[in-house]
Amino acid sequence: MDSPTLLVISGSARQGSYNLSLARYAAQRARAAGLQVEEFDLRALALPLYDGDLEGASGVPEGAYQLQAAMARNSGLLVVTPEYNGFPTPLFINAFDWLSRIGVAPHSPSVERTGLEVTASKLVALLSASPGAGGGLRAMNYVRQYLQMAFQMLVVPQQFALSKANEAFDAQGALKDPRAVQSVDFVISAWMTLAWSLHKG
């Protein structure tokens, strides 16, 4: 049986982003734990802000199909997102809103599977990072609700919010605090355990 594969996305593509750093570090830890990992850049999709008129005129943009294909070729997802005023970022929400329109938007081309058919029952793990004390915890809880309720994804209960993220990484991009490393590993390991059992089932 093939090993489960993990798609890693960051809700911030900012140069010097703490969440992107955490996503890259978590990807390394997941590889070290034996997973195959694909790191995926949401900003490279160049998705316009969702707009029903734009959708009506030119359909769902190509970038949303790229995200769908990435979801389809992986067993599940690791989302690492900052919080903006307690909510996940527009980069993350906008990409998934577009994904949800594949196959259901008016005048859509016929597709093998809709966006929501591809996400259904996929396993998700969550991390966040912030220079603040809460580490982005509030946004993670909305991401959990959004992916579970709208996308029928299975979000593992374990999650980790990295606080004081501006002081957390060394020059090589590794987390300095062994307790933070342990927390990242804990989330990855929870995802792996469930992913293996879903694979077997």
Indicate if the alpha-carbon torsion angle 27, 73, 154, 1 is positive or negative.
negative
φ/ψ of residue 151, rounded to 5? -110, 0
Answer yes or no whether residue 83 interacts with ligand FMN by CB under 6 A.
yes
Which token pair is 175?
């987390």
Q: What residues does 40 pair with on adjacent strands?
A: 9
φ/ψ of residue 123, rounded to 5? -90, 135
Which token pair is 54?
């734009």
Scanning 25-33, 65-73, 104-112, 130-138 for contacts with ligand FMN by CB under 6 A, the matching segment is 130-138
Exactly one of 48, 52, 56, 86 binds ligand FMN (CB under 6 A); that residue is 86
Answer yes or no whether residue 132 interacts with ligand FMN by CB under 6 A.
yes
Quick one: DSSP state of residue 75? Answer: S
Quick one: DSSP state of residue 136? Answer: T
Exactly one of 5, 33, 111, 131 binds ligand FMN (CB under 6 A); that residue is 131
Q: What residues does 5 pair with on adjacent strands?
A: 36
Answer yes or no whether residue 134 interacts with ligand FMN by CB under 6 A.
yes
Answer yes or no whether residue 79 interacts with ligand FMN by CB under 6 A.
no
Taking the least distance from each CB to ligand FMN, the nearer of 85 and 110 is: 85
Answer yes or no whether residue 128 interacts with ligand FMN by CB under 6 A.
no
Answer yes or no whether residue 136 interacts with ligand FMN by CB under 6 A.
yes
φ/ψ of residue 105, rounded to 5? -60, 145
Answer yes or no whether residue 12 interacts with ligand FMN by CB under 6 A.
yes
* Rounded least distance, CB 181 to ligand FMN, Å: 19
Give the interface with ligand FMN as residue ranges (CB under 6 A).
12, 14, 17-20, 82-86, 130-132, 134, 136
